[in-house]
Amino acid sequence: MKAWLYSHTSPTLEQNLTLTPSAPAPPPPKTTQLLIRVLACALNPADYKVPSMPIVSRLLIRKPASPCLDFAGEIVTPGANVTEFSAGQIVYGTLSLPTQFGPLGEYIIAEAEHVQLVPEGVEIDHAATVGVAGQTAWQAIAPYVTADKGDKVLIVGASGGCGIYAVQIAKALGCEVTAVCSTKNVEFVKELGADEVIDYVNEDVVEVLKGKGKVFQLVVDHVGEPTGLYAESEGFLLPGGVFTQVGAHWMPTFVVRMLRPRFLGGGSTKYVPIFWKSNKKDLTKMGELIKEGKVRVILDSVFEYEDAPKAFEKLRGGRARGKIVVHVAERK
């Protein structure tokens, strides 16, 4: 099979990617798995960050390996105990962990629990983006608000990959959304549905929020800044409100915010770090929201297969507004 492979990640993963036309294929699927021919692959920051962690990469990923987690594709062979899927169906989903056979290769093995049928009318490229970003956004919001109650939700980092989903998910759940982003993205975030946008370039975010009083049921922080946001959050979170932090790369932030006492700059409100976990229920819900038009998938750019390293360069640059997708193969 064809595959983009890497064996090293220094200085960057994309500089070590090699397009191999005769790469080893995955083994046959186990009883709960699916062999899938990949049609589209969506990129996430974890796709280059995790392989660059020496210990994690050494333990999880046999080299040479194909990167990425999120995909849409065609089922080739279902495992013996898989009854809800059949060969030829078009599905979307994610791998729960990086493996030797990621979706920048032509074929992958995925657990049936982490896969769902692409809803009728939803584009394959759009479905491919749901796995990590869509589920993470859902898991950071849905458990902490009451649907259709009008809960006030603050979303920091509203123009990023998860933030774009988060704004729309909160609105779909009937929340009133205040978003934080840079000047250049204010109008874009308003178009996503935000009721109010705070421009962190020209406004003091913490002071603006404190001026509103204790009105927010939920804060979703995708950025980790401003640094005093959590410490000051009891000034704008309702009693019983929740502060969720998205992004495993903010591990030092997690530790400081959870363990530092209030008088040393910590906080006293409930703090929940979000560690994404794929499951069929959340995948299905996100697919339904997209099909119903309640959530729009925003694509920053789509790259052809031979340009996959350029897709990673775009992602690493940090200026993508929306998801980045790579076409892996055409539908037969």
pLDDT at 255: 52
Torsion angle defined by CA atoms of residues 110, 34, 42 and 154, in that order, rounded to the nearest 10 degrees: -60
Angle at 293 between CA 328 and CA 331, to 5 degrees: 20
Question: How far apart (Å, rounded) are the C-alpha atoms in residues 162 and 132?
Answer: 8
Lowest pLDDT segment from 17-31, 253-267, 309-323: 253-267
Question: How far apart (Å, rounded) are the C-alpha atoms in residues 219 and 154?
Answer: 5
* Percent over 70 (pLDDT), the chain: 94
Is it the case that residue 274 has pLDDT exceeding 70? yes
Question: How far apart (Å, rounded) are the C-alpha atoms in residues 55 and 37?
Answer: 30
pLDDT at 263: 42
What is the per-residue pLDDT across 58-86, written as a single tens digit (0 to 9) for each? 888 999 999 999 999 999 999 999 999 99
What is the per-residue pLDDT across 228-240, written as a single tens digit (0 to 9) for each? 899 899 999 999 9
What type of residue is 285?
K
pLDDT at 225: 80
Indicate the pTM of the whole model.
Answer: 0.92
Torsion angle defined by CA atoms of residues 327, 328, 331 and 332, in that order, rounded to the nearest 10 degrees: 150
Domain pair 3-129+297-327 / 134-274, same fold: no
Instruction: Calculate the CA 303 to chain-centre distance.
Output: 19
pLDDT at 157: 94
- The predicted model gives 16-28 an average pLDDT of 97
Domain 134-274 is found in CATH 3.40.50.720: yes
What is the per-residue pLDDT across 106-122, written as a single tens digit (0 to 9) for each? 999 999 999 999 999 99
Other Cβ atoms within 10 Å of 37 Cβ, number: 18
Is it the case that residue 270 has pLDDT exceeding 80? yes
Question: Is 56 in contact with 9 (CB distance < 8 Å)?
Answer: no
Eight-state DSSP code of residue 264: G
User: Which three-class secondary structure state does DSSP give residue 15?
Assistant: helix
Q: For 77, phi and psi rounded to 5 degrees? A: -140, 120
* Neighbouring-strand partners of residue 325: 42, 302
- 3-129+297-327 falls under which CATH superfamily? Medium-chain alcohol dehydrogenases, catalytic domain (3.90.180.10)
Is it the case that residue 251 has pLDDT exceeding 70? no
DSSP string, 291-311: HTTSSPPPEEEEE-GGGHHHH
Backbone φ/ψ region at 35: left (φ over 0), alpha (ψ -120 to 50), beta:
beta
* Percent over 90 (pLDDT), the chain: 84
Q: Where are the domains of the chain?
A: 3-129+297-327, 134-274
Q: Name the residue among 250, 241, 83, 77 with its Cα closest to residue 157.
A: 250
Is it the case that residue 2 has pLDDT exceeding 50? yes
When pLDDT is cut at 50, 70 and 90, the band that residue 264 belongs to is: very low
Question: How far apart (Å, rounded) are the C-alpha atoms in residues 179 and 323?
Answer: 19
